[in-house]
Homo-oligomer: A and B are copies of this chain.
Amino acid sequence: MKEKLKYFLWSRTNLNDNQLETIISCFKPRSLKKNCILVAEGEVCKALFFVAKGCARIYYADSNGLVKTRFVAFEQTLFTAISSFITQKPSAEVVETLEDSLLCAISYKNFFRLVDEIPEWAKLYRKLLEAAYIYQNEKIQGMVTFRAKERYEKLLTEKPYYVTRLSNKNLASYLDITQETLSRVKSR
């Protein structure tokens, strides 16, 4: 399982073997059933995760208790409840597996120790933040400029695995529409 993490880091950074080993030894493997809560609402997010297998989502509940999915992490991605992870304040967001999954987790402490000690790791962190920002920005644009049906069709062509791997319920939540309208949209 750690091989995937190693390959992921190796292919995206200029870390040397020593550094790679130090970093990877900080990650702890975790095998989880589907629908496991990794970070609960109100809890401080103390880890960052890598998905070796399966997938997980990050969601929050709006004022009416409706579930809004901010992000779905599939294989080969690093993710966490970023805001809480950065600020170490209680998280409005919940992290939950959507399938039986194999994850690797690094603690807040170790993560930021490495940021201070290994410049190349700090650089990776910067890249992550940049990517996360750009992702959020595009998501906002999508939500603001496209209507329900267009958002679905865009996702279907750009990231079809979202449509195939997620249940309608979760997909609808990710697109910020209701199950019912997703169902209608799908059937033309």
Residues of A whose CB lies within 8 Å of any CB of B are 60, 62-63, 68, 70, 82-83, 86-87, 92, 119, 122, 125-126, 129-130, 132-134, 136-137, 139-141, 143-146, 176
With contacts A70-B137, A132-B133 known, what are 20 further pairs, Cβ within 8 A? A62-B141, A62-B144, A63-B145, A63-B146, A68-B141, A68-B144, A68-B145, A70-B140, A83-B133, A83-B137, A86-B134, A87-B134, A122-B122, A125-B126, A126-B126, A129-B130, A133-B133, A136-B137, A139-B140, A140-B140
Report the separation of the CA atoms of residues A144 and B59 in the bound assembly, to the nearest whole angstrom: 12
Report the separation of the CA atoms of residues A65 and B51 in the bound assembly, to the nearest whole angstrom: 39
Count this chain's copies in the assembly. 2
Cβ B140 vs Cβ A143 within 8 A? yes
Chain B minimum-CB-distance residue to A85: B130
Report the separation of the CA atoms of residues A133 and B141 in the bound assembly, to the nearest whole angstrom: 15
Chain B minimum-CB-distance residue to A126: B126
Report the separation of the CA atoms of residues A29 and B66 in the bound assembly, to the nearest whole angstrom: 48
> Can you name 25 A-B pairs with beta carbons within 8 Å?
A60-B141, A62-B141, A68-B141, A68-B144, A68-B145, A70-B137, A70-B140, A82-B134, A82-B137, A83-B133, A83-B134, A86-B130, A86-B133, A87-B134, A92-B141, A122-B122, A125-B126, A126-B126, A129-B133, A133-B136, A136-B136, A136-B137, A140-B140, A143-B144, A144-B176
CB distance from A146 to the nearest CB of B (A): 8
Chain B minimum-CB-distance residue to A125: B126
Cβ A62 vs Cβ B145 within 8 A? yes
Report the separation of the CA atoms of residues A176 and B146 in the bound assembly, to the nearest whole angstrom: 13
